[in-house]
Amino acid sequence: MNHYSWKSSYTTTALLVGSCCLLAVAAQQQQQQQQQSRSKLAGAFEFVLDFVRRKHSSHIDDDSASNKGMQVLGAGFARSGTKSTEEALKILGHKVYDTRSMLEHSEHIPRWLRAAEDYKQYHNLTELEALLKDIEAEGYTATLDFPVNLFALPLAELRPNAKVLFTVRDNEDKWFESWSDITHLMGHLICRPWKWLIGNFDFPEQLLTILEDFPRTHSQYPEHIYRPLPWFEILHHPAIVDDPGQKERWIALHQDFLKRCQQTLPPDRLLVFNVKQGWAPLLQFLGVDNDALRQQDFPNVNDRSSLQTVRWVMDVVAAGLPLWISLQTYFAYRIARCGVSMITSAAAETKKAKRA
């Protein structure tokens, strides 16, 4: 083999080995991305189904949780990284109370409304304190998300050792855009057939009106809701974000609420937190010393694409509701008929055996 052939063969072999290595790395990265996508999608399904089931799946396996009391109070609004922050708090051992918890403990909803009225009119915290004690007795150690965030300051007054976490996005325009997106995506929960399962879901708006004097809006048929089938509705125009002037009102509320928190709370009790900052500021704020966790990626859940997929699936299920009911009825009939046939056959065999 001449010198040129040797170099050519060596180069070809090196290229093949290098290509195989690159393909292996690419395949591994693709597999990791697919696993992350599946994990996000599963999390999105769980999040949405929590509303339908009226059950918050967040929990911790800590028998001493009920003795910890409320430690973290979320002041940030929805779509400011609250669900990613919830995952982080769960990793740190917290049990988080949010809107899904209110639905799960439906008896709490009228108490939240009474507590809001008492606090707004008389600065009376009696009802809120009683409710907070019951929540703590259930093992909850943190609150997050809208509308529970509206109670951040009175709750901080009742629990002076609790830290207040105000989650934010890069700017208010991006936050409202995301808030509007999630309102459109999750709007099907106030439409047929899902509202038949969930029931009345206007208490967040009621609390917003009571505590912040926010103009009351409610999406109604046919102005905001399209009904292509008697059992299937689509929210095409959510009043709470799409009505004229709503963007300006929401951004003004966001800015004013943040300002009030900053003016009321000392710096060591308030953290304005963007999930892009990662673990470090959150761990420092909560007094958690965990270098290994600090180096990890911060949780990222409930991305728009996953929620869009969930919405599409639920729309298909809702639109085909009579078909699913018919299939369920048919299979139940077939199973019952099969059972009756087996019982009849067994009885006939027994009767035949006795005659013999």
pLDDT tens profile 309-354 = 888 888 888 899 898 888 888 898 999 989 888 888 888 888 777 7
Distance of alpha carbon 101 from alpha carbon 82, whole angstroms: 14
User: Is 354 inside a domain boundary?
Assistant: no
Strand pairing partners for 232? 229
Q: What is the mean pLDDT of the chain?
A: 85
- Provide the CATH number for the domain around residue 210: 3.40.50.300
Q: How far is the C-alpha of 180 from the C-alpha of 169, rounded, in Å?
A: 14
**Cα 46–chain centre separation:** 8
Q: Could you give the C-alpha distances from 295 to 276, 289, 292, in angstroms and in order?
A: 13, 12, 5
Burial (Cβ within 10 Å: 0-12, 13-18, ≥19) of residue 98:
buried
Cβ atoms of 101 and 29 closer than 8 Å: no
Least Cα distance to 139 among 105, 185, 109 occurs for 105
286 found inside a domain: yes
Residue 16 lies in a domain: no
What is the extent of the structural domain holding 287? 38-319
3-state SS, residue 161: coil
**Percent of the chain scored above 90 by pLDDT?**
54
Average pLDDT of span 109-130: 97
pLDDT category of residue 244 using cuts at 50, 70 and 90? confident
Within-domain flag for 202: yes
Please check whether residue 325 lies inside any domain of the structure: no
Q: How many domains does the chain have?
A: 1
Sheet holding 72-74, edge to edge: 96-97, 142-143, 72-74, 163-167, 270-273
CA–CA separation, 352 and 356 (whole Å): 6
Q: Tens of pLDDT along 67-113?
A: 689 999 999 999 999 999 999 999 999 999 999 999 889 999 999 99
339 domain residue, yes or no: no
Indicate the pTM of the whole model. 0.80
Q: Alpha-carbon Rg of the chain, whole angstroms?
A: 27
Chain segment 141-151, per-residue pLDDT in tens: 999 999 999 99
Name which of 52-56, 170-174, 176-180 the model is least confident about: 52-56
Q: Which residue has the tokens 């060596």?
A: 10
Least Cα distance to 75 among 224, 259, 285, 315 occurs for 259
**Is residue 187 in some structural domain?**
yes
Q: Is residue 4 part of a domain?
A: no
Selection from 18, 87, 26, 21 nearest residue 57 by Cα:
87
